[in-house]
Structure 1
């Protein structure tokens, strides 16, 4: 079986975001199931595809809103309004339907499509109706847009997010309706997308690495808690605002918190122990230097890959219930609470007596469940013919 994996940004090997980590895990699982996978999409500027022999590159684009100039943002909004596309999809309309179709035909034939999230599929929706498809819903995008509208700081932002939510709902409905099967990353997303039947969808348990992490022995603790993420992404920003505004004030003044990652303007804390450290060279080393990991998601959908990584590493954590969506097994050293005062108390307790566990067991459990879910979806497309590679 030869599948075309249609995605906005093709893998470049860096795994710099949760989206890229999830894509790598899904593509690897499809190949373990015996499918040949060709990826089509765009690259980041200056970052070539990691697997060029099995990748169709349509060009290079930078789709990050936070780093775009005001003029570029205005152009995206204008093109989105004029075209009727979502803000996310219009960024990818730098090539025509004809150019995409010609690229696909040069690399075919294909047995089916894997439409990876709504951005690329929404930008070139008319091109993927000639073969059976599987839709991968990383998130319930229209729900995230609705939450972003609620949290927006200006009337204009609120109106734009509401428009995005309305259009995303229509695109997600069409993609789910046309797909032979739907992969989601959390069970509640199946309900939100209207595909809760076991005959229509399944949850993909994910991993953040190809192999189970090896035990590294005693850790050197350099701070009490550490957080790392793409805080410019609105659902992450909402969780960070909750943590800094509701949880941190209840922590003792000497509690040391390091926060890494790109930070939007306006993020501050008066707590003397909070330190914003920007980008770090080694994310795993950064979190391993903390006594406990706060898992602070309060918005969004899909799975929290930072939660999965924390569990794979066996690190102690305190998590909101939203941080555990899409995860069936919780390690013994994870405390769950949505109450800010209880969250702060649990962080201080965990930091005072560090308790690591074997993360390899969690990783192996996830891989087995992921492979079983992938096989279930592929069976909806037809028998998987084992591809022979030269």
Structure 2
């Protein structure tokens, strides 16, 4: 079977965000199932695709809103309003339908599409209807947009998120309805997207890498807690605001917290132990240097890749219930609580008691096996659809 994997940004090997990690995990699973996968989408400026022989580039594009100049943001907004598209999909309309149509034809004979998330699928929706498809819903985007609207600081930003939520609810339900099968990243998302039946969807248990690295020996602890993420993404920002505003004030003054990743302007903490370290050269080495990992998601949908990575590495953690969405197994060295004071006490207790790592390889093996089984089920549904089209 040959499938065209249509995505906004093609893999470049960096795996610097949860979205990119999930994409690679799904592509790897498809290939383990014997599928020939050709990826279609845009590349980051200056970053070649990691698999150029099986990638068709539509051009290069930096889709980050937080670093875009004002003129570009206004252009994206104008395009979104004029076209009736969401802000994220409007960013991708830098090429014509005909250009995308020619790129699809260049893939050669193929059996169906993997429509990876709503952005690309909605930007060129009419072009992906000639063959059966699997839609990958990384999140319930309309619910995330509604949560972002409630958390927005200004009236204009709130208005934009409300617009996104209205459009996304219609688009996501249509994409799910038109797809032969739907992959979600959390079981709870299936019902919210209207595809709860096992004949219509399955939740994919994910991994952050196909092979775990060899055990790296005893960890050197440089701080009490470490967090890393793309904090400019609104659901992540909401979780960080909760942690800094509700949890950190209850931590003792000598509790050392390092926060890595891009942080929006205005995010700070008066706690003397909090340090923002920006970009780090090795994310895994960074989290391994902490005595405990706070898993702080409080909004959004889908699954938390940081939770999966923490469990794969066997690191001690304290997690919100939301951080454990889509996770079937919680290791013994993970404490779950949504109460900010209890969260702070659990962090301190984990550090004081020197809670040890656990072997994450069993968790990883279970995830890989369940992922491959779920993907095989979706491919069987897609294959039946391809045969119907051929007939």
Q: Could you tell me the TM-score, scaled by structure 1's length?
A: 0.97
Contact kept, 8 Å, 1:213 with 1:313, in 2: the verdict is: no
Matching residue of 1:207: 207
Q: Could you tell me the TM-score, scaled by structure 2's length?
A: 0.97
For residues 122-137 of structure 1, what are the structure 2 equivalents within 5 Å?
A: 122-137=122-137
For residues 258-337 of structure 1, what are the structure 2 equivalents within 5 Å?
A: 258-337=258-337
Q: Which runs of 5+ in 1 are unaligned?
A: 386-390
Distance in 2 of aligned mates of 1:199 and 1:330: 28
2:69 counterpart of 1:73:
no
Distance in 2 of aligned mates of 1:383 and 1:216: 45
Matching residue of 2:157: 157
> Secondary structure at the residue paired with 2:71?
helix
Deviation (angstroms), 1:246: 0.2
> Secondary structure at the residue paired with 1:77?
helix
Distance in 2 of aligned mates of 1:355 and 1:170: 47
Matching residue of 1:374: 375
Distance in 2 of aligned mates of 1:15 and 1:140: 22
Deviation (angstroms), 1:165: 0.5
Contact kept, 8 Å, 1:144 with 1:235, in 2: the verdict is: yes
For residues 138-287 of structure 1, what are the structure 2 equivalents within 5 Å?
A: 138-287=138-287
Q: Which runs of 5+ in 2 are unaligned?
A: 387-391
Contact kept, 8 Å, 1:298 with 1:323, in 2: the verdict is: yes
CA RMSD of aligned residues (A): 1.1
Rate the CA distance shift 1:349–1:324 in 2: closer, same or farther, 3 A.
Answer: same
2:83 counterpart of 1:83:
yes
Deviation (angstroms), 1:37: 0.5
Distance in 2 of aligned mates of 1:381 and 1:194: 19
Distance in 2 of aligned mates of 1:107 and 1:207: 28
Judge which range, 247-256 or 206-215, deviates more: 206-215
Rate the CA distance shift 1:75–1:303 in 2: closer, same or farther, 3 A.
Answer: same
Judge which range, 348-357 or 40-49, deviates more: 348-357
Distance in 1 of aligned mates of 2:82 and 2:130: 27
What do the CA deviations read for 1:135-187 (whole angstroms, capped 9, x no partner)? 00000000010000000011000000000011111110110000111000001
Deviation (angstroms), 1:383: 6.5
What do the CA deviations read for 1:172-205 (whole angstroms, capped 9, x no partner)? 0110000111000001100110111111110100
> Secondary structure at the residue paired with 2:135?
strand
Deviation (angstroms), 1:373: 0.2
Matching residue of 1:388: none
Deviation (angstroms), 1:103: 1.0
Contact kept, 8 Å, 2:142 with 2:168, in 1: the verdict is: yes
> Secondary structure at the residue paired with 2:270?
coil
What do the CA deviations read for 1:29-57 (whole angstroms, capped 9, x no partner)? 00111111000000000011111111110
Distance in 2 of aligned mates of 1:14 and 1:248: 31
Rate the CA distance shift 1:142–1:384 in 2: closer, same or farther, 3 A.
Answer: closer
Contact kept, 8 Å, 1:213 with 1:360, in 2: the verdict is: no
Deviation (angstroms), 1:90: 0.4
Matching residue of 1:355: 356
> Secondary structure at the residue paired with 1:382?
helix
Matching residue of 2:41: 41
Deviation (angstroms), 1:354: 2.6
> Secondary structure at the residue paired with 1:287?
helix
Contact kept, 8 Å, 1:212 with 1:364, in 2: the verdict is: no
Distance in 1 of aligned mates of 2:294 and 2:40: 36
Distance in 1 of aligned mates of 2:181 and 2:138: 14
* Paired residues, number: 385
Deviation (angstroms), 1:213: 3.3
Contact kept, 8 Å, 1:114 with 1:135, in 2: the verdict is: yes
Contact kept, 8 Å, 2:180 with 2:385, in 1: the verdict is: no
> Secondary structure at the residue paired with 1:326?
coil
Matching residue of 2:389: none
Distance in 1 of aligned mates of 2:219 and 2:361: 16
What do the CA deviations read for 1:346-369 (whole angstroms, capped 9, x no partner)? 000111123110011111110000
